[in-house]
Every structure is written in C-alpha cells, then in structure tokens.
C-alpha cells in the first residue's frame, strides 16, 4: 500500500535558522508530490508541487523542495525561517491511477522569535 | 471568497445521533473529495466524486457514512448513529478536470461526539 513518512513530528527553530523537513514515500510508479501547509486556525494550503522536470521546485514564501527519485524522497527546505512560518507541514503523494492524495502525518514547526 | 466552503465549522453531537455536513466546492471544479483528519495525523481519504458520480470510497467509509453530490455541485456527508471514534475534522477538497492533481481544501468541519 502507498504510504508517506514524515520523520520529524515537531521541530523548533529560531528565526533565521535553516529548515529541512524530511518526506519519504513508498510507491514504485509515477507520482506527483506536494507539500501543504496549515497555519494556526487556517485551512490546508498548497505550498509547492512536483509533477515532472526539474527535481528542484520552488514554492511560495521562499520554500523549495527537492525530489530525489532514487531515495523516494521529497524534502522541504527554507534557508531562513521566520516566525510567521510557524505551522504544520504535510507532505502528500498523488500516484498515477489513484484518485486521492495520501498524506504524511505532518510536522509541526515552531519558530521562536 | 471563491474558495471551498464547509458548513458547519463545528458540530457537537451525542453518540447515536445523525449528523450531516455540507461542502461547496470551487464553482468550476468538477471533482470533489472528502477526507478525515484526526489529531496528530494527516488527512485520510474517504470518498471521491466526479460531477455527481461517486467513483471511489475508502475502506474507512463504513456503512454508517454516506455521501452525495446531487447535480454535481455541493456535496453532503452524513454519519448515522455517530460513535465517539467519529470525532475528527472532516475536510472537503475540490479540483478541476484539467488539473485534477491540485486539490484545494476547505476549512473543515470539526465533529465532537460526546
């Protein structure tokens, strides 16, 4: 069965620190990959997506993610976090032939000023 | 606001009661999804509609759950004889036919069964 693993459940960083959140998926076929963000009290929003082509994708608010096919990974990065990045981050996979997203369990990021 | 809307935002009910939630997708989106999210977990797929046709149901969707999308616009999710284990956030998402991979989520309905 398809699954998505997010290794870090809770991350605490100081402002200006660099961020990397891990995401691994298990599916052997073609996938589309997403990171969603949920700010406190708000609904899930798409942060960035990978469909094909350049494995380094850039999203909103300075976030980027790298798809490494050989490692089944799609890690999220940001060079310098801000207090406003405090949120929960979800990695999701959409596999060809499926009709819905499979989400990881999420990583709660807390950025201290 | 032209995003996905859900109603109600919160629902508290007693065990054994029936509840119904509504989702209004983005107007031009023909695909609609229901997910359930419990504390500390990511959303889990429940069911999917393309226009008015319900094309897929997860094993999570027990016989007490039913979803409809009459006329291919809004959708309802009904839970009969609620149980405490049904307490969760119920999320609705929609996507277009051309770009169905990108799903846009509503704010969710938080259900508490006492």
**Cα distance between residue B30 and residue B32, in whole Å:** 7
**Cα distance between residue B88 and residue B39, in whole Å:** 7
Residues whose CB is less than 8 angstroms from the CB of residue B35 and which lie 6 or more positions away in sequence, other chains included: A100, A101, B43, B44, B45, B46, B90, B91, B92, B93
B48: nearest CB among A42, A94, A99: A99
The confidence score (pLDDT) of residue A96 equals: 72
pLDDT digits (tens, 9 = 90+) for B32-88: 999 999 988 999 999 999 999 999 898 888 899 999 999 889 999 999 999 999 999
pLDDT of A28 > 80? The answer is no
What's the token pair of residue A6? Answer: 């997010």
The H-or-E segment that residue B90 falls in is: strand B88-95
The confidence score (pLDDT) of residue A109 equals: 97
Q: Tell me the mean pLDDT in the region A29-56.
A: 92
**Chain B residues within 8 A of A42 when measuring between CB atoms:** 107
Q: Do B105 and A49 touch (CB under 8 A)?
A: no
Please report which confidence band the pLDDT of residue B1 belongs to, taking 50, 70 and 90 as the band edges: low
pLDDT digits (tens, 9 = 90+) for A69-103: 999 999 999 999 999 999 999 999 988 777 789 99
Give the bridge partners for B31, in sequence order: B50, B95
């Amino acid at each position: 069965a398809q699954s998505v693993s997010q290794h870090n459940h809770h991350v605490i960083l100081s402002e200006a620190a660099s961020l990397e959140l891990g995401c691994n998926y298990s599916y052997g076929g073609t996938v589309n990959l997403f990171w969603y963000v949920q700010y406190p009290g708000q609904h899930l929003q798409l942060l960035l997506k990978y469909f094909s082509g350049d494995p380094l994708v850039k999203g909103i608010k300075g976030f980027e993610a790298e798809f490494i096919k050989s490692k089944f990974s799609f890690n999220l990065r940001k060079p310098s976090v801000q207090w406003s990045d405090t949120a929960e981050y979800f990695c999701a996979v959409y596999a060809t032939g499926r009709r819905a997203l499979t989400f990881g369990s999420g990583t709660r990021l807390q950025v201290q000023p | 606001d032209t995003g996905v809307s859900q109603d109600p935002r919160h629902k508290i009910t007693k065990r054994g009661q029936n509840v119904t939630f509504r989702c209004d997708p983005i107007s031009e989106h023909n695909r609609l999804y229901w997910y359930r999210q419990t504390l500390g977990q990511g959303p889990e797929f429940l069911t999917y509609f393309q226009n008015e046709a319900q094309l897929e149901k997860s094993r999570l969707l027990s016989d007490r759950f039913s979803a409809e999308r009459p006329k291919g616009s809004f959708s309802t999710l009904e839970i009969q004889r609620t149980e405490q284990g049904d307490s969760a956030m119920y999320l609705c998402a929609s996507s277009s036919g051309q770009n169905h991979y990108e799903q846009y989520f509503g704010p969710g309905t938080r259900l508490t069964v006492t």
